[in-house]
Amino acid sequence: MTAIDYQAFYDRSVSDPDAFWAEQAQLIDWHHPFEQVCDASRPPFVRWFAGGTTNLCHNAVDRHVATRGDDRALIWSSSEVDREEIYTFAQLHREVQIMAAVLQSAGVKQGDRVLIYMPMIPQAAFAMLACARLGAIHSVVFGGFASHALANRIDDAEPVLVISADAGSRGGKVVPYKPLLDEALRLCSHPPRQVLMVDRGLSPFELQPGRDLDYAQLREAHRDAQVPCVWLPSEAISYTLYTSGTTGRPKGVQRDTGGYAVALAASVRHIFDGRPGETFFSTSDIGWVVGHSYIVYGPLIAGMSTIMYEGLPTRPDAAVWWHLVERHQVTVMFSAPTAIRVLKKQDPALLQRHDLRSLRNLFLAGEPLDEPTARWIAEALGKPIIDNYWQTETGWPILTLARGLSSGTPKFGSPGVPMYGYKVQLVDEQTGAVLDGANQKGLLVIDGPLPPGCMQTVWRDDERFVRTYWSSVPDRQVYSTFDWAVRDEEGYYFILGRSDDVINVAGHRLGTREIEECIAGHPAVAEVAVVGVADALKGQVALAFAVLRDPAKAATQELALALEGDILKKVDQELGAVARPARVRLVAALPKTRSGKLLRRALQAVAEGRETGDLSTMEDPVALEQLKAQLAAGG
C-alpha cells in the first residue's frame, strides 16, 4: 500500500470508528459477539466491544493448536544459563493448562489477583497466560525489585497468590528473589495466602510451611489436567501494571480483555508487519508493558513465534541478539534506544557477523531516539529503523509508521505519525487552544474516547484516573501524555520531552530533549541527560551530564575543559545561547531504571544536593554513588 492509503485508513478510523473497529475485531475469536462497538456514554471511561465475550489465552494459544499446533510458539533463550527451550503451540497449550490447574489447586478463581515476581523464564509466560485462561487478574512486578517497592505493589493489588522463583541472573551474577520476596511479605499489610515457587536451581531456599508451594511437585500432580478457558466480558480486567518510577502510592494501569486483544492483533499486523508463522523478537522484559504486549500476548495472538530472552545484549558478546535473529529467522525486532547506545560502544564488526536477511524492520521505543543513534544503527544494519512512541497507559503505539500498511519514510528524530484510532492533537498548555500550524510547540494530547487496548482506569481509583490524565488542560477533557512535541509540515511529530521536564530559564521555557539531541550529536558523546537545576538568579539553569565514547578524551582537566567548551559551542551554534547549559559534566555512567530509562529526577536531586527519594527501580545504585562522589570532587 502507499502512504496515501494509510492516510485514508487513519481517516476512517477516526471518522467512522465503529465500522473501523468492528472490522479489526474480526482478527480475534469471540465466544459471543459484541452488541456495541464503543460505549462512551460515561466519558472519559469507555467500554469497547460491549456485550461480547472472549479470552486472551484462547486467542493467544488455543485457537492456533488445530491449524499450527506443531509450529514454534515460545522460544526461550538464556545467555545467562546457556540454555534454550522451544515450545510449539501444542506444547504451550499443555503447559498453560498445567499451570492453570496448579493455580486452581491454590484457590485462584475468576476475578482474583495473582502477582507475578519472576525472572525471564518460560514459567512466567505460562503464569500470565494461565491467569488469562482462568479470568484471574495478573500483576507482573519486574523481577528483582527491592522489597519495599514489591511490598507496596502487593498491598495495592491484594493478590491471593504470589508466583516467584528462587533467583534470576544478570551478567552471570545470580540475583536471589526469595529473600527479597520474604522481606516484602513481612513488610506488607495484605500478604497473600500462598506463594508458588519455581526452583531453577540457582539459589537455595526454604519453603515456608503452610504458605509456600512447590511448583515442580504440583506440576507433576496436574500434568494431565484439562482446564477450559473462562469466557469473559470484553470489559473484564485482564491485568494491572504499575508504572515505573512511581512514588508514594503505586499507580496501577488497568487493562481490559477484548479491546486489548483486538488492539494487539491489529497492531502486530498493521504496525509491526508481523505475519503468522514468522518470529517476533522483543528484547524487553515481561515486567514492562512492551513485554506484556509484544513478548507474551501480541505475537502469539497473531500466530507468530515469540522469543523470550534472558540476558544482556553484550553477553557472551555484543553479537548475541543478531545470533538469535539469524538462528530463528526473526522478521520483526523490537528494542530500546538505550540498548542500541550500549551496542554503539562495542566492536562494529559484531554487527556484520550474522545473516540478518530475514529481518524486515527494527523498532525502537522506551525513550526518545536521538538522531545520531538512529542513523548509526540504520547504517550498521542496513535495515529500516522505526521509532515508536507510546506509554504503559496506552498499551500499543501512539506515533510510529504502520509498516504493514505503508512503507512510510522514517525521519530521524521523529517517531512518526499518529496511528489509527488515536485523535492526536497539540494544544497550548495554558489555554487549551489547539495548535494546528506546523512547527508549533505544544502539549501532546489525545481526544477521547481512547482507542481499544488503552487503560480503562487506575486500579481502584477512578478519581485519580480522571484527575491525573484528563484534567490538566483548561476547559477540555482530553488525555494528556505529559509530553511536549512539535509537528512538521508533513505531519511527522517530534517529541521534545516531558512537560514536567521543561526548564524555565529566566522566563524562557526550554525542553531538555532539544538540548540532549544537540549534545548527543557531538562525535565524542555516547550518551547525555539534561536536567533543570535551581538557580537563584534565573530560576533554573540547564545542567548536562555526558558519557563519552572514549574517556581518554577527558583524561586531564585541560582536555575535559576543552571538550566541555566544544560541546557548549555546538549548543550555541545550533540552539542559541539561551539553551546553553551552565555546565556539561563529563561522567562515567548515568543512573537508569532497570527498563533503561534515565533517572533525570535523581540527577537533578544530586545536582541540587537533595535526597534522591525512592530508587527501587534503579538498575545500578553504585552508578549514582559514583556520580555523587565525582561531582563532590569537582569532576
Q: How far apart are CA 385 and CA 391, in angstroms?
A: 19
Burial 600-628 (b: 16+ CB within 10 A, else e): bbbbbbbbeeeebebbbbbbeeebbebbb
Would you place residue 606 in the very low, low, confident or very high pLDDT band (cuts 50, 70, 90)?
confident
Cell digits for 51? 456485550
pLDDT tens digit sequence for 316-340: 999 999 999 999 999 999 999 888 9
Cell digits for 33? 459477539
At a CB cut-off of 8 Å and minimum separation 6, what does 162 contact? 114, 115, 116, 117, 154, 181, 185, 192, 194, 195, 196
pLDDT at 247: 39
Let me know if residue 492 belongs to a domain: no
Task: Assess whether pLDDT exceeds 90 at residue 614.
Answer: no
In terms of Cα–Cα distance, which of 259, 230, 256 is closest to 110? 230
Task: Assess whether pLDDT exceeds 80 at residue 1.
Answer: no
Task: Assess whether pLDDT exceeds 60 at residue 246.
Answer: no
Q: How far is CA 333 from the centre of its chain?
A: 14
Query: Do 309 and 373 lie in a common domain?
Result: yes
Would you place residue 613 in the very low, low, confident or very high pLDDT band (cuts 50, 70, 90)?
low
Let me know if residue 488 belongs to a domain: no
pLDDT at 429: 87
Helices (H) and strands (E) in the chain, counts: 20, 32
> Which 8-state DSSP code applies to residue 329?
T
Q: What are the two backbone dihedrals, phi and then psi, of residue 326, each rounded to the nearest 5 degrees? A: -70, -45
Let me know if residue 496 belongs to a domain: no
Given a contact cutoff of 8 angstroms between Cβ atoms, the answer to whether 314 and 323 are in contact is no
Query: Do 458 and 594 lie in a common domain?
Result: no
Let me know if residue 93 belongs to a domain: yes
Q: Which domain holds residue 584?
A: 506-632
pLDDT (mean) for 237-255? 78
Apex CA 509: angle with CA 582 and CA 418, to 5°? 120
Q: What is the mean pLDDT of the chain?
A: 91
Above pLDDT 90, what percent of the chain? 75
Let me know if residue 209 belongs to a domain: yes
Let me know if residue 512 belongs to a domain: yes
Would you place residue 306 in the very low, low, confident or very high pLDDT band (cuts 50, 70, 90)?
very high
In terms of Cα–Cα distance, which of 268, 276, 300 is closest to 397? 268
Of 483, 498, 524, the residue that ends a domain is 483
pLDDT at 369: 85
Query: Do 597 and 456 lie in a common domain?
Result: no
Query: Do 429 and 565 lie in a common domain?
Result: no
Above pLDDT 70, what percent of the chain? 94
Task: Assess whether pLDDT exceeds 90 at residue 535.
Answer: no
Query: Do 413 and 548 lie in a common domain?
Result: no
pLDDT tens digit sequence for 192-236: 999 999 999 999 999 999 999 999 999 999 999 999 999 999 999
Query: Do 463 and 550 lie in a common domain?
Result: no
Q: Which of 460-469, 510-519, 606-615 has the lowest mean pLDDT?
A: 606-615
Query: Do 109 and 151 lie in a common domain?
Result: yes
CATH number, domain with residue 385: 3.40.50.12780
pLDDT tens digit sequence for 381-394: 999 999 999 999 99
Cell digits for 116? 507475578
Given a contact cutoff of 8 angstroms between Cβ atoms, the answer to whether 607 and 533 are in contact is yes
pLDDT (mean) for 514-521? 88
Query: Do 424 and 525 lie in a common domain?
Result: no
Beta bridge pairs of residue 170: 173
Task: Assess whether pLDDT exceeds 90 at residue 5.
Answer: no
Of 452, 483, 514, the residue that ends a domain is 483
> Given 3-state DSSP classes, what are the helix, strand and coil percentages for the chain, each rounded to the nearest 5?
35, 25, 40
Let me know if residue 248 belongs to a domain: yes
CATH number, domain with residue 542: 3.30.300.30
Query: Do 434 and 323 lie in a common domain?
Result: yes
Let me know if residue 202 belongs to a domain: yes
Query: Do 512 and 553 lie in a common domain?
Result: yes
Q: How far apart are CA 358 and CA 369, in angstroms?
A: 24
Q: How far apart are CA 511 and CA 398, in angstroms?
A: 21
Strands 194-198 and 385-387: unpaired
Looking at the structure of the chain, the number of domains it has is 2
pLDDT at 507: 57
Amino acid type, 201: G
Would you place residue 579 in the very low, low, confident or very high pLDDT band (cuts 50, 70, 90)?
confident
Q: What are the two backbone dihedrals, phi and then psi, of residue 308, each rounded to the nearest 5 degrees? A: -110, 110
Query: Do 510 and 462 lie in a common domain?
Result: no
Query: Do 477 and 549 lie in a common domain?
Result: no
pLDDT at 423: 98
Amino acid type, 486: V
Of 451, 483, 515, the residue that ends a domain is 483
pLDDT at 249: 67
Greater pLDDT, 399 or 595: 399
Q: How far apart are CA 588 and CA 604, in angstroms?
A: 17
Given a contact cutoff of 8 angstroms between Cβ atoms, the answer to whether 522 and 529 are in contact is no
